[in-house]
Amino acid sequence: MTTIRLRLTAAAITLLLAAGCGGSKEDKALKGPLEVNGLSTPAAFADIEDDRARAAALFEEMSKVMLHPRCANCHPKTGGPTQGDDMHPHNPPVIRADGMGAPGMTCNACHGTHNVAFASMEGSIPGASPWILAPALMGWAGATPAELCAQLKDPQRTGGRSLEDLVEHNGVDHLVGWAWEPGEGRTSAPGDQATLGALTEAWVAAGGHCPAG
């Protein structure tokens, strides 16, 4: 656990240093990378002085990843997982059960520890260890950023997980990281995992306020 937190903190420090950590908010907004692969970094929001407004803007940016098909396909509100950029129903049809699928048709029957390219056609079977569907209480596909934010702040809908747990999950969890290495035939989520982790940490530090809507 200590190693994980050190990795996440190092990633966040790297982004903050690049943004001019230690200077004024104006300096932070002007120095360093303001975006990574289409996802804004915390530095892009450093000139928003009001904590509530800055936190809301940070979460809006986080939601670009969390509501992206690479994440939302495994966070359905009802039924089984979806797949593809268009989030169509999983084929073959499967059910959530305990998150690993029904007996005799579990996720690991088809999904291994890594992505596997198809031998005779384009595309691939996604994989990670373990490949698992999010619990029903953490389904959010189709939610608005405001709805997702409220859900993540409600312990009854996160299995008792804290916002600090979310920082760690977004910043280092291997299934989240898969969103940027999704295999042939899939569009990666915007940004990278270090940027998502840094955004989440900055959002919590600003008070964890939610966007309107």
Q: Is residue 7 part of a domain?
A: yes
* Cα–Cα distance for residue pair 74/195, rounded to 1 Å: 21
Q: What is the mean pLDDT of the chain?
A: 87
Q: Is residue 126 part of a domain?
A: yes
Q: Is residue 211 part of a domain?
A: no
- How many domains, in total, are found in the chain? 1
* Cα–Cα distance for residue pair 46/99, rounded to 1 Å: 39
Q: Is residue 87 part of a domain?
A: yes
Q: Is residue 213 part of a domain?
A: no
Instruction: Choose among 56, 53, 45: nearest CA to 16.
Output: 45
User: pLDDT tens-digit profile of 18-43?
Assistant: 444 444 443 443 366 999 999 999 99
What is the reported pLDDT for 99? Answer: 65
Tell me which DSSP letter residue 116 carries. E
Q: Is residue 113 part of a domain?
A: yes
Query: Judging by DSSP bridges, how do beta strands 116-117 and 124-125 pair with one another?
Result: antiparallel
User: pLDDT tens-digit profile of 51-99?
Assistant: 999 999 999 999 999 999 999 999 999 888 999 999 999 998 888 877 6
* Cα–Cα distance for residue pair 29/59, rounded to 1 Å: 17
User: pLDDT tens-digit profile of 92-145?
Assistant: 888 887 767 777 788 888 999 999 999 999 999 999 988 999 988 999 999 999
Q: Is residue 210 part of a domain?
A: no
Widest pairwise Cα distance in the chain: 58
Q: Is residue 212 part of a domain?
A: no
Range of the domain at 132: 2-205
Q: Enter the pTM of the model.
A: 0.84
